[in-house]
Chain A
Amino acid sequence: EAEVAQSPRYKITEKSQAVAFWCDPISGHATLYWYRQILGQGPELLVQFQDESVVDDSQLPKDRFSAERLKGVDSTLKIQPAELGDSAMYLCASSQSSYNSPLHFGNGTRLTVT
């Protein structure tokens, strides 16, 4: 079964440093999502792409977070500078379409900011 690939699996960084996460969705999935999951909570949408275009980034802290999906395939999420409160699991997901289509999640990147 095809899976969403994410790297790195774990990342430890000091506050004020830059950090980047990578995601490769399931082949053919036009919609890509970045979620943040704080321990004990449900995933929270940060940004959603339809092909290479941003559909929703209303919850993305744009002063420090950026996301891109230049060729409409893989995607990068960046944080600069990282803050202590950014420690969380960052999940990437993809779906065939943006309308009520099941999400397939990657294994996530566990970020710890010290």
Chain B
Amino acid sequence: GENVEQHPSTLSVQEGDSAVIKCTYSDSASNYFPWYKQELGKRPQLIIDIRSNVGEKKDQRIAVTLNKTAKHFSLHITETQPEDSAVYFCAASIDYKLSFGAGTTVTVRA
């Protein structure tokens, strides 16, 4: 099955700085890459996703890039705010099966 590795496991940034989370996947057939944000005690929520025919996607302060050749994709959060503090999960999908990374705990320092 698909193996998704996520780095770093924890990330502390100063408010206003950027945060970058990187993920790699093992199966070149993976074609869908969503990112989920999970605040403490709450459900994971989709924040952005990208499909294999696109190299980059932006939504306000959040962007995702995909490098199919290297089999890695990254989440970029610019101008971080305290409400960005959460656990972020990347995932990769082959057809219908979604495999998640282990998560990155992001802490934004005021």
The answer on A and B forming one complex is yes
Please list the residues of chain A having a beta carbon within 8 angstroms of any beta carbon in chain B: 4, 31, 40-45, 48, 55-56, 91, 98-100, 102-108
A-B contact count (CB 8 A): 53
CA distance A64 to B10 in the complex (A): 34
Question: Which chain A residue has the least Cβ–Cβ distance from B89?
Answer: A42
Contacts of B96 in A (CB 8 A): 31, 48, 55-56, 98-100
- Chain B stretch 78-105: residues in CB contact (< 8 A) with chain A: 89, 91, 93, 95-103
- Judged by DSSP, the binding face of A is loop
Smallest CB separation, A72 vs chain B (Å)? 17
Complex-state Cα separation, A40 to B93, whole angstroms:
21
Since A31-B96, A42-B100, A45-B98 are in contact, a sample of 13 more A-B pairs with Cβ atoms closer than 8 Å, ordered by chain A residue number, is: A40-B102, A40-B103, A42-B91, A45-B97, A45-B99, A91-B43, A98-B95, A98-B96, A99-B95, A100-B32, A100-B95, A105-B43, A106-B43
- Give Cα distance in the complex from A44 to B32, angstroms: 17
Contact residues in A for B36 (Cβ distance below 8 Å): 105
Find residues 1-53 in chain B having any chain A CB closer than 8 Å to their own CB: 4, 6, 31-32, 34, 36, 42-46, 49, 51
Name which of A43, A91, A108 has the most chain B CB atoms within 10 A of its CB.
A43
- Least distance between A60 CB and chain B CB atoms (Å): 14
Q: How far, in angstroms, from A79 to B103 measured CA to CA in the complex?
A: 26
Of the residues B31, B49, B93, B103, contact of A41 by C-beta under 8 Å: B103
Q: Which residue of chain A has its CB nearest to the CB of B96?
A: A98
Residues of B within 8 A of A100 (CB): 31-32, 51, 93, 95-96
B89 → chain A closest CB, angstroms: 5
Report B55 CB to chain A, min CB distance, Å: 17
Q: Which residues of A contact B32 (CB under 8 A)?
A: 100
B46 touches A103 (CB 8 A): yes
A104 CB contacts on chain B under 8 angstroms: 46
The answer to whether A102 and B101 touch across the interface, beta carbons within 8 angstroms, is no
Is B34 a contact of A102 with CB atoms below 8 Å?
yes
Q: Report which of B43, B46, B100 forms a contact with A107, defined as CB distance below 8 A.
A: B43
